[in-house]
Amino acid sequence: MAIERSEVEKIAHLARLGLTESDLPRTTETLNNILGLVDRMQAVDTQGVAPLAHPLETHQRLRADAVTETNQRDAYQAIAPAVEEGLYLVPRVIE
pLDDT at 50: 85
pLDDT at 56: 81
Region 9-26: what's the mean pLDDT? 93
Cα dihedral 70→73→79→81 (10° resolution)? 160
For the entire predicted model, the pTM comes to 0.51
What are the φ/ψ torsions at residue 21 (nearest 5 degrees)? -60, -35
Walk me through the domains of the chain, giving residue ranges and CATH numbers.
5-38 (1.10.20.60)
- Give tens-digit pLDDT for 19-70: 999 999 999 999 999 999 999 999 999 999 888 887 787 788 898 999 999 9
Confidence of residue 73 (pLDDT cuts 50, 70, 90): very high
Residues paired with residue 88 on neighbouring β-strands, in sequence order:
83
d(CA 31, CA 43): 18
CA distances from 15 to 8, 30, 38 (A): 10, 17, 21
> Are 12 and 27 within 8 A, CB to CB?
yes
